[in-house]
Amino acid sequence: MKEAGQKAARPDRRRSRRLRFSRDDRELAFLCFPAAVWFIAFCYVPLFGIVFAFKNYKVSAGKGFLYSLFVHSKWVGLRNFEFLFRSPDLWVILRNTVGYNLVFLLIGVTLPVALAIMLSQLHSRRLAKICQTAVFLPHFLSWVVISSFVFAFLSTDKGLVNSLIRALGGSGVLWYQDKAPWPWLLILINTWKTFGYSMVVYLASITGIDESLYESAVIDGATKMQQARWITLPLLRPIISIMFILNVSHIFSTDFGLFFQVPRDSNSLTQVTQTLDVYVYKALMQNSNYNFASAAGLLQSIAGCLLMIGANRMVRRIDPESGLF
């Protein structure tokens, strides 16, 4: 069936090279046109805005934006980047960004895998199905909603945690002002939100493993632990590696909602909760510091791009079909 289709396509190819643009091509171009316009408008036109990072943006009153940006604002080369690197904030922010991402990464390739293997062994399939559905829920909740949940627990005067502490004789903790517990809190909350989805993805892979491999292992007298170690994990290695590598390529970008909404943008916590995305947002929207924001954003894009390409090469080496490009 497929060959017949290809054979029919080949004569088309020759014909369409002779004609300027076949009818099929015209119609397909028409179909693709709206999406192409969207990509150009929202992905490519903003690329021109990269010049922001190299200019000292000054609005010129009375004239349009393009005039302000391209004519009126002075070209300053790499000076914005210099200022950015000299500011002490940047290093704290980079530490936060990369640090949190590394922890999330490590947890993300160990915990959901272990849970997926455990879940696949439960005797009661009904319980497994119910639990699987339940742990999937946090993935569908937005950070705004989750920050309300967290507030219900951590609110200084009304939260459940402080109520329990007071009932046990202690005095309440000022959760939103004390920065010490927040790294752990953020890691816990992020794990809570993401483990269900990852677990289900790994579970889908485990289902694909051939039964007979386990059966022959049983005949050879393998214990469950041995089966997990020598059959399940090696067969999961490709997908674990791919997930790992793809996540490494995102190491400079973070989920804005987690680091902005959940701590409720509290100033006393920024030392440990502010990441690059939050910094760029605040510089843009709250401080109108366009220069810093655009320089930081550009660095983030470049770093992400290089990492993505590198990550894709490595993924391709593991499984040639799985690369993104």
Partner 1 sequence: MTGIREIRPDGLGRFNRIRPLTNLLFSAVFVLLAASTVLPVVFVLIISLSPEASIAQNGYSFFPSSLSLSAYEYLWLSRDYIGRAFLNSIGITVLGTALGLLLTSTLGYGLSRPSFRLRGVLTVMILIPMLFSGGLVSTYMINTQVYHLKNTYLSLILPGACSSFYVMIMRTFFRTSIPDGIVESGRIDGAGQIRIFTRLVLPVSLPVLATVGLFLTFSYWNAWYGAMLYLDSNHRELYPLQYVLISIERNIAFMAKNEEHFTGESMGSVPSETARMAIVMLVVIPIACSYPFFQRYFVGGLTIGAVKG
- Rounded distance between C-alpha atoms, residue 192 and residue 227, angstroms: 28
Q: Which of 160, 174, 180, 233 contacts partner 1 by CB under 8 A?
A: 160
Residues in 260-299 at the binding interface with partner 1, rule: CB under 8 A = 261, 264-265, 277, 280-281, 284-285, 290, 293-294, 297-298
- The angle subtended at Cα 182 by Cα 178 and Cα 183, nearest 5°, is 140
Of residues 105 through 144, those in contact with partner 1 by CB under 8 A are 115-116, 118-125, 127-138, 140-142, 144
The residue (of 160 and 174) whose beta carbon lies closer to partner 1 is 160
Q: Is 92 in the site for partner 1 (CB under 8 A)?
A: no
Residue 168 CB, nearest approach to partner 1 (Å): 14
Nearest partner of 243 among 315, 325, 137, judged by Cα: 315
Among the listed residues 62, 65, 168, 171, the single contact to partner 1 using CB under 8 A: 65
Residues 160, 161, 163, 167: what is their CA dihedral angle, to the nearest 10 degrees?
A: 130
Binding status of residue 184 toward partner 1 by CB under 8 A: no
# chain residues binding partner 1, by CB under 8 A: 129
**Which parts of 16-45 interact with partner 1 (CB under 8 A)?**
16, 21-25, 27-32, 34-36, 38-39, 41-45
The single residue among 148, 177, 226, 287 that binds partner 1, judged by CB under 8 A, is 148
Q: Is 256 one of the binding residues for partner 1 (CB under 8 A)?
A: yes
| One-character DSSP codes across 243-299 | HHHHHHTTTT---HHHHHTTTTT-GGGHHHH--HHHHHHHHHHTS--HHHHHHHHHH
71 binds partner 1 (CB under 8 A): no
CB of 163 to partner 1, least distance (A): 5
Q: Determine contact, residues 180/268, Cβ cutoff 8 Å.
A: no
- Distance, CA of 131 to CA of 151 (rounded, Å): 25
Chain mean position to CA 270: 21
Q: Which stretch binds partner 1 (CB under 8 A): 74-82, 92-100, 101-109, 192-200?
A: 192-200
| Amino acid at position 159, single letter | G
Nearest distance from C-beta of residue 248 to partner 1, angstroms: 14
| Contact of 198 with 104, CB cutoff 8 Å | no
